[in-house]
């Protein structure tokens, strides 16, 4: 099993997300993460889907997604030729005694503290899925109260891009 | 021209060339039914919405048009579901129109509200909930386009009642632009060349034809291709009729319920050419394990079918008809003489002589004699169970479309309502339904529709007082521990027929078959022939 990142352009309409996610459950595919947002064209949304599976699964995911009328285009992103990021907000227990230590860890990961209370710190981190996971692991010793992760978003490097029309490079 | 949404729906159907639709009214679709009164459309009132969907499917399968079925919201719409799923499994183009509660009440669990777009999403090609009456013409246009093109399938349009009463300036769109939907029709020439090469060196090539050949109207080309290259043909359940049933190259149906010589050929081929067949598990045996020694060619309009259940060495995505046209231009058959004589010998030696010593009526004998009596343009629909398999293996379908069955979903209760659609679509053809006593009772009320429409449909019920197919499964797989397969209180089917004003008779012995079939076919109305079958009678 390996992780594969698909970049999927879809019509920005209600019901599309449920069609896509429904397809995954119905066909028994494993979604690792799914992130959706509108693109430069307000009628088009982009989904970044991370799938866990072998080549057969990825090919089937691709073909089955392509059958959905609202799916405009799909591209499998090569890790070496794309940039991927995930955003996380992590609320961690903080006491006067360990506050500094937490801040140092946050510093090392180039994350940010975005909220403070008497006994918590909320950390904002972005980076590859692995980096966010590593930070989460480091913070776990202090006791994590809550965590929110967006799932991966990814884009191809350089001049390559996917467009809803036919003019792609 | 100012029209209400309901009038738009009716007008759009007319502009789509629809003449006949099947449905059942209710409050949430009442504006549509009102508008229907001022139209040229013929509406057939079935006795259950499921019947409407199956009838639309049967209609579509013989006319090549998109079948249309209509229901009200909530229970009407949920009754359609099995019909929609059935059509999806067999790639039948349908447009299902459902009424919906008022837009601003959606999501509040009001009277007769059901989320039909959510419910049908996994088994329709596409669906729409209409939120703005101005979108209605575009949506209907798109729905028909999507249903009929590429790999056909059902499309659902859910129309809230207030949308049906609002007015717009009606203009039906001429063009469609759906950027995410561009079926690929033309097969890749390089791939087609590879097929021709593979055929030229194959020693024991075999064609497996599925329902996609019928959809593509390519059965004439398929036959020509088989003849030109000397390649024998096996069919799937949905592919029956793609090559005439009495053609010498036709080996019959493959799979777990298929015939020996078809499976023998599949196991011994070195080049399996799958055409418009999705190679479902009943055809394959174990998924993925078909013709293990063979190179596999797969031609299909739906790219997702290729590689789904079997790995393929030469995939071709395209319309079967166009691909076969291109292939026929360049293909030259190899030397298949030895292979042919081998498989045809198997066909001869294994051709079961029908054992008329069996108790009661032998269903194979019935279908066999019936085949001899029917003309080439007769159409058979079936229910599901042993009856379906007996029919599939003994009926001689001389033309594509002569055998109509629920292949993919295996829906009991399909055959009778499908026959209503078939008869409506092809009134000049003799239409025969083959049913089990269990399946027949799933759609029995549709006899009322048949009566109301004055249709002449020939119904053969194989009555074994059992859910035969399940009984057989329990015998073989559960050591004969029979659970809930006894139909001990079947109605008197003959009296039932008479209650509807139809003629009927019951036979209990093989000696009665021939003359009973003559009476069945001679009657100019609907006729029920009940054949008492030994409950122990096996499927294959
Ligand atoms: C709607 C539906 N329910 C259940 C089944 C499972 N099933 C398949 S065959 C069969 C028995 C059919 O019995 P009958 O119609 O009497 O036909 P026979 O097998 O006896 O010819 C059943 C219950 C089905 N295919 N469809």
Q: Which CATH number does B2-169 carry?
A: 3.40.50.970
Query: Best mutation site among B148, B180, B304 for testing chain A: the one with the most A CBs within 10 Å?
Result: B180
Residue A109 resides in a domain: yes
B470 Cα: distance to centroid of ligand 1 (angstroms): 7
Pair A122, A72 in one domain: no
DSSP structural state of residue A10: E
What is the value of pTM for the model shown? Answer: 0.94
Those residues whose C-beta lies under 8 Å from the C-beta of residue B128, and which sit 6 or more positions away, are B117, B139, B142, B143, B155, B156, B157, B158
B137 lines ligand 1 (CB under 6 A): no
CATH of B363-532, one of 3.40.50.720, 3.40.50.620, 1.10.10.10, 3.40.50.970: 3.40.50.970
Q: Which CATH architecture has domain B189-349?
A: 3-Layer(aba) Sandwich (3.40)
B435 Cα: distance to centroid of ligand 1 (angstroms): 10
B438 lines ligand 1 (CB under 6 A): yes
* Mean pLDDT, chain B, whole residue set: 95
Residue A149 resides in a domain: yes
Q: B304 and A66: CB-CB below 8 Å? A: yes
Residue B286: per-residue pLDDT: 56
Specify burial of residue A133 (Cβ count, 10 A radius: 0-12, 13-18, 19+): middle
Q: Residues of A near B (CB-CB distance < 8 A)?
A: 10-11, 15, 18-19, 22-23, 26, 56, 59-60, 63-64, 66-73, 164-165
Residues of B in contact with A164 (CB under 8 A): 179
pLDDT at B356 over 80: no
Pair A96, A63 in one domain: no
Percentage, residues of chain B above pLDDT 70: 97
- B121, closest residue in chain A (CA to CA): A19
pLDDT at A70 over 60: yes
pLDDT at B288 over 60: no
Structural domains counted in chain A: 2
When CB atoms are compared, the residue of A64, A70, A72 closest to B304 is A64
Residues of B in contact with A26 (CB under 8 A): 122
* Domain stops at, among A52, A77, A102: A77
Those residues whose C-beta lies under 8 Å from the C-beta of residue B492, and which sit 6 or more positions away, are none
Pair A114, A134 in one domain: yes
DSSP structural state of residue B487: -
Q: Hey, how many other C-beta atoms are within 10 angstroms of the C-beta on B32?
A: 25
DSSP structural state of residue B486: B
* Domain stops at, among A27, A55, A77: A77
Contact of B298 with B313, CB cutoff 8 Å: no
When CB atoms are compared, the residue of A11, A18, A72 closest to B121 is A18
CA B387 to ligand 1: nearest atom: 21
Give the CATH number of the domain where residue A144 resides: 3.30.70.1150
Pair A7, A62 in one domain: yes
Residue B352: per-residue pLDDT: 57
Residue A162 pLDDT class (50, 70, 90 cuts): confident
Pair A69, A105 in one domain: no
Contact of B233 with B210, CB cutoff 8 Å: no
Range of the domain at A48: 2-77
Residue B282: per-residue pLDDT: 84
Average the pLDDT over each of A26-30, A37-41, B299-303 and give the range with the smallest value. A26-30
Pocket test for ligand 1, best of B89, B409, B467, B536 (most atoms within 8 A of CB): B467
**A-B contacts (CB, under 8 Å):** 42
Residue A41 resides in a domain: yes
Q: B125 and A69: CB-CB below 8 Å? A: yes
Q: What is the nearest CA distance from B113 to chain A, expressed in angstroms?
A: 18
Pair A91, A62 in one domain: no
Chain B window 249-288: which residues touch A at a Cβ cutoff of 8 Å?
A: none
Pocket test for ligand 1, best of B385, B464, B533 (most atoms within 8 A of CB): B385
Residue bearing the CA closest to ligand 1, atom 16? B438
Q: Where are the alpha helices (DSSP H) in B363-409?
A: 363-373, 386-394
Residues of A in contact with B103 (CB under 8 A): none
Q: What is the nearest CA distance from B279 to chain A, expressed in angstroms?
A: 16
Location of each CATH 3.40.50.970 domain in chain B: 2-169, 363-532
pLDDT at B273 over 70: yes
Residue A39 resides in a domain: yes
Residue B513: per-residue pLDDT: 97
DSSP structural state of residue B187: P
Pair A111, A135 in one domain: yes
pLDDT at B283 over 90: no
Q: How far is CA A110 from CA A6, A103, B91, B282, in A?
A: 27, 10, 54, 57
For the stretch B510-528, pLDDT in tens is 999 999 999 999 999 999 9
Residue A54 resides in a domain: yes
* Cα B46 to Cα B441: distance, rounded to the nearest angstrom: 15
Residue B85: per-residue pLDDT: 98
B58 lines ligand 1 (CB under 6 A): no
Q: A22 and B125: CB-CB below 8 Å? A: no
Please choose, from the candidates B312, B304, B339, the residue with its C-alpha nearest in 3D space to the C-alpha of residue B195. B312
Pocket test for ligand 1, best of B412, B443, B534 (most atoms within 8 A of CB): B412
Residue A168 resides in a domain: no
Pair A117, A141 in one domain: yes
Average the pLDDT over each of A157-161, B41-45, B149-153 and give the range with the smallest value. A157-161
B410 lines ligand 1 (CB under 6 A): yes
Residue B21: per-residue pLDDT: 98
Q: B178 and A69: CB-CB below 8 Å? A: yes
Residue A14: per-residue pLDDT: 86
Residue bearing the CA closest to ligand 1, atom 8? B385
Q: A59 and B181: CB-CB below 8 Å? A: no
- B106-125 average pLDDT score: 95
pLDDT at B231 over 50: yes
pLDDT at B408 over 70: yes
Residue B350 pLDDT class (50, 70, 90 cuts): low
Contact of A63 with B303, CB cutoff 8 Å: yes
B468 lines ligand 1 (CB under 6 A): yes
* Domain stops at, among A28, A55, A77: A77
Contact of B231 with B336, CB cutoff 8 Å: yes
Residue A140 resides in a domain: yes
- B183, closest residue in chain A (CA to CA): A67
Q: Encoding tokens for residue B221? A: 């080309």
Q: Encoding tokens for residue B6? A: 């309901």
Percentage, residues of chain B above pLDDT 90: 92
Instruction: Say if B135 is an interface residue toward chain A (CB within 8 Å).
Output: no
Residue B292 pLDDT class (50, 70, 90 cuts): confident
Pair A92, A147 in one domain: yes
pLDDT at A167 over 70: no
Q: How far is CA A114 from CA A6, A32, B518, in A?
A: 31, 27, 87
Beta strands in B291-409 (DSSP E): 295-300, 314-317, 379-382, 403-404
Q: A72 and B179: CB-CB below 8 Å? A: yes
Q: Hey, how many other C-beta atoms are within 10 angstroms of the C-beta on B351?
A: 12
Location of each CATH 3.40.50.1220 domain in chain B: 189-349
Pair A118, A71 in one domain: no
Residue A165 resides in a domain: no
When CB atoms are compared, the residue of B181, B303, B307 closest to A69 is B181
Residue bearing the CA closest to ligand 1, atom 13? B467
Pair A69, A6 in one domain: yes
* Cα B537 to Cα B540: distance, rounded to the nearest angstrom: 9
pLDDT at A169 over 50: no
- B29-37 average pLDDT score: 98
Q: B179 and A68: CB-CB below 8 Å? A: no
Pairing of strands B233-235, B205-209: parallel
Q: What is the nearest CA distance from B93 to chain A, expressed in angstroms?
A: 15
Backbone φ and ψ of B130, nearest 5°: -80, 120
Q: What is the nearest CA distance from A63 to chain B, expressed in angstroms?
A: 5
Query: Best mutation site among A67, A71, A166 for testing chain B: the one with the most B CBs within 10 Å?
Result: A67
């Amino acid at each position: 099993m390996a992780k594969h990142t698909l970049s999927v352009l879809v019509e920005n309409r209600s019901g599309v997300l449920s069609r896509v996610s429904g397809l995954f459950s119905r066909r028994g595919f494993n979604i690792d993460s799914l992130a959706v947002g509108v693109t430069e064209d307000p009628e088009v949304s982009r989904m970044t889907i991370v799938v866990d599976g072998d080549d057969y699964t990825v090919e089937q995911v691709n073909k089955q997604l392509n059958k959905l009328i609202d799916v405009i285009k799909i591209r499998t992103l090569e890790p070496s030729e794309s940039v991927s990021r995930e955003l996380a907000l992590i609320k961690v227990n903080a006491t006067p005694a360990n506050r500094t230590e937490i801040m140092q860890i946050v510093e090392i990961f180039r994350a940010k503290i975005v909220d403070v209370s008497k006994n918590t710190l909320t950390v904002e981190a972005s980076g590859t899925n692995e980096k966010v996971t590593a930070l989460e692991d480091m913070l776990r010793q202090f006791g994590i109260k809550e965590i929110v992760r967006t799932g991966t978003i990814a884009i191809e490097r350089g001049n390559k891009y996917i467009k809803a029309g036919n003019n792609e490079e | 021209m100012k029209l209400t949404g309901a009038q738009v729906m009716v007008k759009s159907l007319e502009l789509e060339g629809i003449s006949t639709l099947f449905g059942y009214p209710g409050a949430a679709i009442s504006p549509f039914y009102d508008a229907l009164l001022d139209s040229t459309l013929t509406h057939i009132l079935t006795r259950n919405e499921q019947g409407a969907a199956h009838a639309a499917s049967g209609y579509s399968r013989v006319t090549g048009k998109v079948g249309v079925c209509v229901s009200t919201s909530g229970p009407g719409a949920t009754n359609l579901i099995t019909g929609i799923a059935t059509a999806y499994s067999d790639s039948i183009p349908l447009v299902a129109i459902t009424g919906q509660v008022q837009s601003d009440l959606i999501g509040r669990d009001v009277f007769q509200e059901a989320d039909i777009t959510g419910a049908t999403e996994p088994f329709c090609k596409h669906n729409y909930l209409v939120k703005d009456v101005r979108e209605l013409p575009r949506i209907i246009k798109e729905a028909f386009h999507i249903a009929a093109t590429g790999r056909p399938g059902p499309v659902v349009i859910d129309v809230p009642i207030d949308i049906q009463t609002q007015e717009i300036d009606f203009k039906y769109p001429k063009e469609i632009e759906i950027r995410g939907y561009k079926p690929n029709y033309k097969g890749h020439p390089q791939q087609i060349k590879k097929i021709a090469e593979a055929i030229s060196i194959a020693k024991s090539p075999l064609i497996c034809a599925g329902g996609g050949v019928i959809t593509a109207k390519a059965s004439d080309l398929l036959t020509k291709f088989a003849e030109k290259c000397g390649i024998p043909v096996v069919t799937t359940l949905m592919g029956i009729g793609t090559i005439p049933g009495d053609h010498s190259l036709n080996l019959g149906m493959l799979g777990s319920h298929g015939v020996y010589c078809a499976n023998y050929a599949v196991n011994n081929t070195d080049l399996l050419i799958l055409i418009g067949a999705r190679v479902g598990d009943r055809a394959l045996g174990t998924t993925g394990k078909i013709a293990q020694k063979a190179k596999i060619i797969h031609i299909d309009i739906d790219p997702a079918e290729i590689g789904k259940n079997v790995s393929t060495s030469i995939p071709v995505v395209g319309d079967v008809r166009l691909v076969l046209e291109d292939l026929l231009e360049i293909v030259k058959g190899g030397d298949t003489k030895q292979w042919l004589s081998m498989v045809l010998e198997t066909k001869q030696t294994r051709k079961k002589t029908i054992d008329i010593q069996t108790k009661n009526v032998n269903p194979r004998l019935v279908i066999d004699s019936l085949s001899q009596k029917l003309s080439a343009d007769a159409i058979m629909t079936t229910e599901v169970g042993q009856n379906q398999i007996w029919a599939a293996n003994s009926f001689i379908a001389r033309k594509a479309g002569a055998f109509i069955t629920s292949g993919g979903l295996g829906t009991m209760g399909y055959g009778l309502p499908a026959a209503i659609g078939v008869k409506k679509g092809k009134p000049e053809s003799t239409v025969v339904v083959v049913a089990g006593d269990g399946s027949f009772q799933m759609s029995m009320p549709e006899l009322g529709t048949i009566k109301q429409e004055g249709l002449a449909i020939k119904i053969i019920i194989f009555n074994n007082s059992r859910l035969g197919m399940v009984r057989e499964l329990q015998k073989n797989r559960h050591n004969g521990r029979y659970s809930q397969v006894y139909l001990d209180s079947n109605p008197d089917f003959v009296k039932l027929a008479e209650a509807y004003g139809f003629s009927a008779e019951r036979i209990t012995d093989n000696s009665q078959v021939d003359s009973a079939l003559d009476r069945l076919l001679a009657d100019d109305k609907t006729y029920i022939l009940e054949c008492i079958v030994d409950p122990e009678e096996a499927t294959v």
